[in-house]
């Protein structure tokens, strides 16, 4: 059952109950008032009859008291009187014709004697023989000569058919009135509750549509005041905003994950295909040899060497790729990096030393590392080295001539490690993308070996250290990568530079500037 129907039913039921109480009250009040005035009339009539109309005398022979009904007393129209002997219950006198009596019972006589006045309604016959309802007042009386002896009970009676008719009309009116009010109230209640609950129905409809159409962009339109329903609408709408936001994020991360998996599979397939091709080639060469092939030993050795070196090259490329993928998978799993207080200079120097061994065509120079002296960061030594190697390997890879230089700069609360090269550089439009997974700039694609994963790993490491990165590059002129790392809190305090935000990755905003 809908709230609307329930509300209306409750409302009508309560109103009905209220009207019933009111009706009964009003009916009782009217009937009491009507009968009360009649009873008072009968009481005064009885008094008058007893005082003026009844004469008593003592029978000279028996000594018994006798009554005389005064004919001179003009009895009020509409009333009848009757005197009953309380001992025998006999009718002694009556103003009615002989064939008509006022109904009486010994019970009522006893009650009247006890209370000195008693009124009761009883069915009987009218003087013309029709059925009527009498209202009868019983009034016991005694004579002056013997005030303690009840000599008779006077009955004053009147027909109350008219009063009963009025009362039945009143009750009919009250019932009709109540029914009308209930019907009106139920109808207006239905209308009002429909009006009040309309926005809720709209909410149900819209949320239903959102559910069935899966259109999370829909919102509940509500133009009313900011009452309970207004606030409910607001809450649901903001909840939908959040659900939509989370859903879009999940969709985006799902899309990225799929792209990552498909790119990774694609990247892994290339070396595998080369390895398989070479293995098949070798197999063919050796099978031909077994069946007495025509190749000379020298030719066989050269072919085999070529194939094996291809296999080795691809295998190491694959192993690099798998390592990179593992690093990124770790990054995706959300495990926080173990950080500790580190002196940065020895790490950078170690990287510089090992960098001399990397394959390169450009001149390798180490600039001033003075800014790093005594500088401490909260970091992970292995990850920091890995990150610096990524930038250096790239610099060597993309610098066919000229030089690559690493130096350090200092800024308030942070230190910068700068890697500059005079290599191929990049188009400024590509800079925002180079940190994306598998992204390779146009100039390097197909010309230089690479997976497009290095910078995304480097960016993740910088993020984990709460650092940032600036890129300055010009096509065919070279690039500069400046990595900013926050100094550890204790050191910044010693230097009087005030507290620094915690390096929790949340403020890691890798920025990319270009210099055109």
- Chain residues binding ligand ADP by CB under 6 A are 390, 394-395, 398, 421, 423-426, 434, 439-441, 444, 450-455, 479
Distance from C-alpha of 362 to C-alpha of 395, rounded to nearest angstrom: 9
Distance from C-alpha of 268 to C-alpha of 181, rounded to nearest angstrom: 83
What tokens does 281 get?
């080639």
The CB-of-424 to ligand ADP minimum distance in angstroms stands at 5
Burial tier of 281 (Cβ tally within 10 Å: 0-12, 13-18, 19+) = middle
What tokens does 461 get?
């490491």
CA atoms within 13 A on the CB side of 46: 27
The CB-of-390 to ligand ADP minimum distance in angstroms stands at 6
The CB-of-203 to ligand ADP minimum distance in angstroms stands at 49
Query: Hey, what's the torsion of the CAs at 374, 380, 386, 388, to 10 degrees?
Result: -30
Distance from C-alpha of 151 to C-alpha of 140, rounded to nearest angstrom: 8
The CB-of-398 to ligand ADP minimum distance in angstroms stands at 3
- For 488, which DSSP code? P
403-411 and 363-366 beta bridge pairing: parallel
Q: Could you count the other beta carbons within 10 Å of the beta carbon of residue 412? A: 10
The candidate with the shortest Cα–Cα distance to 54, out of 157, 170, 139, is 139
Burial tier of 102 (Cβ tally within 10 Å: 0-12, 13-18, 19+) = buried
Q: Is the separation of the CB atoms in 152 and 161 below 8 Å?
A: no
Q: Is the separation of the CB atoms in 339 and 385 below 8 Å?
A: no
Nearer to ligand ADP, 377 or 512 (CB): 512
Nearer to ligand ADP, 167 or 328 (CB): 328
Nearer to ligand ADP, 189 or 425 (CB): 425
The CB-of-198 to ligand ADP minimum distance in angstroms stands at 58
Nearer to ligand ADP, 446 or 498 (CB): 446
Nearer to ligand ADP, 8 or 456 (CB): 456
What tokens does 399 get?
């610098």
Nearer to ligand ADP, 1 or 356 (CB): 356
The CB-of-340 to ligand ADP minimum distance in angstroms stands at 27
What tokens does 221 get?
């339109």
CA distances from 283 to 125, 271, 291, 312 (A): 135, 18, 12, 16
Nearer to ligand ADP, 157 or 419 (CB): 419
Distance from C-alpha of 499 to C-alpha of 415, rounded to nearest angstrom: 15
The CB-of-338 to ligand ADP minimum distance in angstroms stands at 24
Nearer to ligand ADP, 393 or 504 (CB): 393
The CB-of-367 to ligand ADP minimum distance in angstroms stands at 16
Nearer to ligand ADP, 132 or 441 (CB): 441
The CB-of-376 to ligand ADP minimum distance in angstroms stands at 28
């Amino acid at each position: 059952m809908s709230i609307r129907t329930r509300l209306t039913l409750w409302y009508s039921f309560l109103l009905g109950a209220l009207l019933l109480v009111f009706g009964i009250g009003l009916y009782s009040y009217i009937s009491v008032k009507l009968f009360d005035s009649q009873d008072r009339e009968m009481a005064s009539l009885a008094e008058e009859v007893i005082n003026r109309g009844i004469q008593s005398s003592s029978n000279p022979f028996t000594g018994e008291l006798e009554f005389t009904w005064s004919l001179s007393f003009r009895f009020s129209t509409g009333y009848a009187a009757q005197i009953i002997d309380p001992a025998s219950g006999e009718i002694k006198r009556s103003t009615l014709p002989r064939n008509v009596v006022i109904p009486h019972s010994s019970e009522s006589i006893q009650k009247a004697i006890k209370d000195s006045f008693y009124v009761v309604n009883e069915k009987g016959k009218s003087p013309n023989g029709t059925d009527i309802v009498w209202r009868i007042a019983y009034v016991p009386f005694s004579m002056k000569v013997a005030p303690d002896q009840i000599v008779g009970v006077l009955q004053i009676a009147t027909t109350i058919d008219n009063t009963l008719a009025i009362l039945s009309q009143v009750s009919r009116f009250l019932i009709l009135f109540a029914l009308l009010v209930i019907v009106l109230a139920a109808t207006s209640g239905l209308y009002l509750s429909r009006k009040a609950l309309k926005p809720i129905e709209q909410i149900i409809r819209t949320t239903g549509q959102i559910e069935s159409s899966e259109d999370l962009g829909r919102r509940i339109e509500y133009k009313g005041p900011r009452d309970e329903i207004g606030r409910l609408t607001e809450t649901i709408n903001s909840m939908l905003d959040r659900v939509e936001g989370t859903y879009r994020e999940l969709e985006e991360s799902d899309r990225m994950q799929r792209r990552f998996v498909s790119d990774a599979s694609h990247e892994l397939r290339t070396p595998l295909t080369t390895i398989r091709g070479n293995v098949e080639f070798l197999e063919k060469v050796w099978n031909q040899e077994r069946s007495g092939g025509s190749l000379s030993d020298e030719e066989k050795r050269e072919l085999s060497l070529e194939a094996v070196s291809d296999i080795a090259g691809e295998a190491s490329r694959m192993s690099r790729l798998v390592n990179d993928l593992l690093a990124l998978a770790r990054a995706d799993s959300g495990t926080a990096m173990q950080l500790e207080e580190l002196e940065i200079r020895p790490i950078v120097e170690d990287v510089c030393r090992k960098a001399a061994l990397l394959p390169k065509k450009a001149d390798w120079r180490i600039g001033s590392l003075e800014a790093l002296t005594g500088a401490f960061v909260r970091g992970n030594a292995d990850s920091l080295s890995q990150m610096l190697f990524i930038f250096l390997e790239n610099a060597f890879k993309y610098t066919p001539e000229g030089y690559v230089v690493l130096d350090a700069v200092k800024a308030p609360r942070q230190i910068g490690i700068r890697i500059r090269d005079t290599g191929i550089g990049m188009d400024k439009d590509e800079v925002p993308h180079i940190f994306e997974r598998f992204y390779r700039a146009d100039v390097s694609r197909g010309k230089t070996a690479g997976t497009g994963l290095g910078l995304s790993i480097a960016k993740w490491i910088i993020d984990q250290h709460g650092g940032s990165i600036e890129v300055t590059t010009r096509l065919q002129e070279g690039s500069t990568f400046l990595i900013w790392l926050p100094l550890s809190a204790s050191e910044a305090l010693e230097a009087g530079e005030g507290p620094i935000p915690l390096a929790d990755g949340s403020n890691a905003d890798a920025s990319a500037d270009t210099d055109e």
